[in-house]
Structure 1
Amino acid sequence: MPMGTDVRHAVVIGAGMAGLAAARVLADGFEAVTVIERDTLPSASEPRVGVPQGHHVHGLLALGAEVFEGYFPGLRAELEEAGAPVWDWGEDLCAVLPNGTPPPTPMGMPIQTFSRPLLEHVLRRRVSALEPVTLRDGLTVTGLRTAGPGRVTGVRVKNGDGEDEIVADLVVDASGRSSHLPQWLAALGLPSPRTTTVDAQVGYASRTYSYPEGQSPPSWKGVLEPLRAPDFHKGSYAIQIENNALHVTLHGAGGIQLPRGDDDFLAFTKTLRGPIADTIASLTPVSPVRRYARTVNRKTAYHRLARWPDGLIALGDSVCTFNPAYGQGMTVAALEARLLEQMLRGRRTRAPFDGQGFQRRLARVTAFSWLMATIPDRAWEQSRPALPVKAGNWFMNRMIDTVPHDPRVYTTFSGLFHMLAGPLALADPRLLSRVLVGPRPGGSLHAATP
């Protein structure tokens, strides 16, 4: 039977990062919040079928960590108790950049590293404990329940052979890359939103290692060796995570074949300039090699639709998804939840939520992250980039090439990367002069040793 309409009720489709963050915010403004997840959710910190990217290195940027800590006080300490290390980005990262490796540079920028399953498990447990929240897994949303094309009143669901409806005042699509929202809107007679994609055709191969008893981890907590068109087709990101493990993700672009097994995984690392090959040579693999290739950047322009139904919003990867190499997804999800909180607080009591206004403001939230991901990724595409993209890519590469030789540029770039600074930081005359002058001699031009 459909849930009654006398309770102010929000439904969230998807129990990933965006869905959990949204549910946390909605729990403060609705009497009941139901999170619907297609997967059967594990009771422990384990990967799940609906998150194939969960086997690969994930990063929570510094700003995202701050926002999540505000919504879940004590989260960092809880993750640290579970073994997730906390470290300073400038001091403990080995950044193997095209023009060299910057020396350790204290920044006071705390970073915490962990596996995606651990973070999701802790957040899911926190959200499930909220009194208004009910988490229903193993349930598939098949469509929207409506009162005509202009009003969404809930969702239709399927559980095994049975079908049902759940009535809601607000439906939040946080179902991710596999969202069916464009088709659902079309079924209501609404126009199809424009979709923009940028595909660098980057692939990943990942595995996790443990340290032999008595062997200490290396001095660094993370290694970052980024790709860059057209010359650097191979890269990696490795981080220390819980259970005293090292999580390694290898990147390949431009037709590079990624490893499938033990021998070719090690062989690939030996072609890199960083310390990964020497580090993992003495470690014990505790997972198989897993590959992933769904790294396309995709933006759906819901904010440009002239008509948008009441009672519906979309956020997270359902709207804008990024190449995971840049680590922006979880942080952007946190910022979208913060936008949702701001708009819920700003509306009149019992007034319908302004879904169209939300989509328009969400587009502004994602705009800078979209540029940060797609400007370098467009350089891998076969077509000649437009002049603004070419200029932006030149400036970004120039800045990165200056990083190993200039601690101030390194700190500013790190603030941009971690979203602690916005695009206005790029207009700082001191930064512009340093970047335009270019790299200066005397910086570190070698990769760190393990």
Structure 2
Amino acid sequence: MPDGTRIGRAVVIGAGVAGLTAARVLADHVETVTVVERDTLPSGPAPRPGVPQAHHVHALLALGAEVMEGYFPGLRAELERAGAPVWDWGERLCAVLPGGTPAPLRMGMPIQTFSRPLLEHVLRRRVAELKPVTVVDGATVTSLRTAGPGRVTGVRVTGGDGEEEIGADLVVDASGRSSHLPRWLVGLGLPSPRTTVVDARIGYASRTYTYPEGQSPPSWMGLLQPLRAPAFPKGCYAIQIEDDTLHVTLHGGGGTELPRDEDEFLAYARSLRSPIGDTIASLTPASPVRRYARTLNSRTAYHRLPRWPHGLIALGDAVCAFNPAYGQGMTVAALEARLLDRTLRRRGAFLDGHAFQRALARVTAFPWLMATIPDRAWERSGTARAVGAANWFMNRLIDTVPHDPRAYTTFSRLFHMTGSPAALLDPRLLSRVLAGSRRRSTTDMPSFG
């Protein structure tokens, strides 16, 4: 028998985006898939306690949307029928960058914007309709069931029916930032895995708005003003989503105090360089102000453990969680599901969990750098020289974007993970970035009309 686990039954812990995409992939390879979710799942697109960040702006990057469409054919059309608009990133994004605002540029990069609850609702319904899949909600996985320290054989669950055990040949931990897996592994005799944390102390305050009767939406579909340490501690991201709603998230870095009520929210928005303050002043609030501060990046080095139990893998935020400001989490979850699919197709009915964790670490390596290099600039202690140099280069690239359409396109593809990091080594791009760029007044904004 190969050094792996033959899979007939799988249990997925967590019904978030990572868990649902993993269950979708597993349904093509195994006889039964049980998704266990701690929350009582809503019947429609509504927030739930286990996803507190759902109240804030979410983004599915272009690569993530492409991968999701492959596993859920017709997903984009279904979301569009639910009101989620599709638009071109370069043409309809108003990006208020430290060096200026790039003019609209058609990139052929379709983006779809929606609320996190809508996406989860559609994915959850699609997954629950798959014949091998059963979704069990209102149930908490309390521990792993094992056959000795080297093999996981299922999970122990508590819920409305009391305690029970669910047997499995493969357990997938997709339980997110609240994962108990490090403690469970120590209980199996493994060393505690090392977790790296990068915390820029970035907070969010969000709310949604509707348009008064007769008032047209702004010409842009997305508005972005990113943070940059230390000179730009305030920013925002706003997107038009389903139900003709504008979803606005205000950012604050380095411990900046975020607004708590309606007056503070508007005052904060008006303090920004972007037009968001003027935009929302005439709109109708459709939600209270909601704050969120659990934005640290964390990466657990399961791939470096000397041993790994058969019948277990971990993915999603349970392994590598990103500051949500960069919009990477859902896309990385889709890439991890694709990795699982490719691994199972290559290995047949067998899965080497340790090899999977090493491969997953490679999937998360570049997104981790993209998130943590700018976030480390907020840390009060000195950063490593290499990190400082990388941050300097990325800032120079971003400063080139408003004045160089080619740099704008290259950076956008890098951000959306559709382009290779090797593009940064293109001599033509390097020469333009390193030559510096002309500073444009922050009030010199091109028209989006």
* AA matched with 1:425: A
Q: Counterpart of 1:187?
A: 187
The number of residue pairs the alignment matches comes to 443
Q: Counterpart of 1:145?
A: 145
Q: Counterpart of 1:108?
A: 108
Alignment of 1:22-33 (within 5 A): 22-33=22-33
* AA matched with 2:403: H
Shift in Å, 1:254: 2.2
Note if 1:401 corresponds to 2:399. yes
**Contact 1:40/1:137 (<8 A) preserved:** yes
- Render the CA deviation track for 1:278-309: whole Å, top value 9, x for unaligned: 11111000100000000000000000001000
Distance 1:433 1:299, change over 3 A: same
* AA matched with 1:354: D
Distance 1:448 1:282, change over 3 A: farther
Normalising by structure 1, we get a TM-score of 0.97
Percent of pairs with identical residues:
75
Shift in Å, 1:170: 0.3
Aligned equivalents of 1:442, 1:230: Cα separation in 2: 20
* AA matched with 1:426: L
Aligned equivalents of 1:440, 1:142: Cα separation in 2: 58
Shift in Å, 1:193: 0.4
Q: Counterpart of 1:439?
A: 437
Q: Secondary structure at the match of 1:249?
A: strand
- Render the CA deviation track for 1:103-129: whole Å, top value 9, x for unaligned: 001100000000000000000000000
Q: Counterpart of 2:178?
A: 178
Shift in Å, 1:434: 1.2
Q: Counterpart of 2:345?
A: 345
Q: Counterpart of 1:236?
A: 236
Q: Secondary structure at the match of 2:343?
A: helix
Q: Counterpart of 2:320?
A: 320
Aligned equivalents of 1:393, 1:234: Cα separation in 2: 18
Alignment of 1:8-407 (within 5 A): 8-160=8-160, 162-349=162-349, 351=350, 353-407=351-405
**Contact 2:218/2:279 (<8 A) preserved:** yes
* AA matched with 1:30: V
**Contact 1:274/1:448 (<8 A) preserved:** no
Alignment of 1:420-439 (within 5 A): 420-439=418-437
Aligned equivalents of 2:7, 2:358: Cα separation in 1: 28
Normalising by structure 2, we get a TM-score of 0.97
Aligned equivalents of 1:194, 1:441: Cα separation in 2: 43
Distance 1:448 1:211, change over 3 A: farther
**Contact 1:99/1:445 (<8 A) preserved:** no
**Contact 1:143/1:156 (<8 A) preserved:** yes
Aligned equivalents of 2:143, 2:392: Cα separation in 1: 45
Aligned equivalents of 2:272, 2:446: Cα separation in 1: 12
* AA matched with 2:367: S
**Contact 1:57/1:115 (<8 A) preserved:** yes
Aligned equivalents of 2:59, 2:334: Cα separation in 1: 13
**Contact 2:313/2:353 (<8 A) preserved:** yes
Distance 1:212 1:448, change over 3 A: farther
What runs of 5+ residues in structure 1 fail to find an aligned partner?
1-5
* AA matched with 2:90: G
Aligned equivalents of 1:305, 1:11: Cα separation in 2: 23
Q: Counterpart of 1:3?
A: none
Give the alignment's Cα RMSD to 1 decimal.
1.4
- Render the CA deviation track for 1:327-348: whole Å, top value 9, x for unaligned: 0000000000000000000114
- Render the CA deviation track for 1:228-267: whole Å, top value 9, x for unaligned: 0010010000000000000000000123110111100000
Q: Secondary structure at the match of 1:10?
A: strand
**Contact 1:303/1:363 (<8 A) preserved:** yes
Aligned equivalents of 1:443, 1:408: Cα separation in 2: 21
**Contact 2:311/2:353 (<8 A) preserved:** yes
**Contact 2:273/2:442 (<8 A) preserved:** no
Shift in Å, 1:83: 0.4
Aligned equivalents of 2:236, 2:129: Cα separation in 1: 37
**Contact 2:99/2:440 (<8 A) preserved:** no
420-429 or 381-390, which deviates more = 420-429
**Contact 1:399/1:435 (<8 A) preserved:** yes
Q: Secondary structure at the match of 1:148?
A: coil
Shift in Å, 1:441: 6.8
Shift in Å, 1:439: 1.1
* AA matched with 2:40: T
**Contact 1:46/1:118 (<8 A) preserved:** yes
Aligned equivalents of 1:155, 1:446: Cα separation in 2: 58
**Contact 1:57/1:249 (<8 A) preserved:** yes
Shift in Å, 1:160: 3.9
7-16 or 238-247, which deviates more = 7-16
Aligned equivalents of 1:59, 1:334: Cα separation in 2: 13
Shift in Å, 1:419: 0.3
What runs of 5+ residues in structure 2 fail to find an aligned partner?
1-5
Aligned equivalents of 2:441, 2:354: Cα separation in 1: 50
Aligned equivalents of 2:440, 2:293: Cα separation in 1: 39
Shift in Å, 1:147: 0.3
- Render the CA deviation track for 1:122-170: whole Å, top value 9, x for unaligned: 0000000000000000000000000011000000000147111000010
- Render the CA deviation track for 1:380-433: whole Å, top value 9, x for unaligned: 000111100000000000000000000000000000000001211111111111
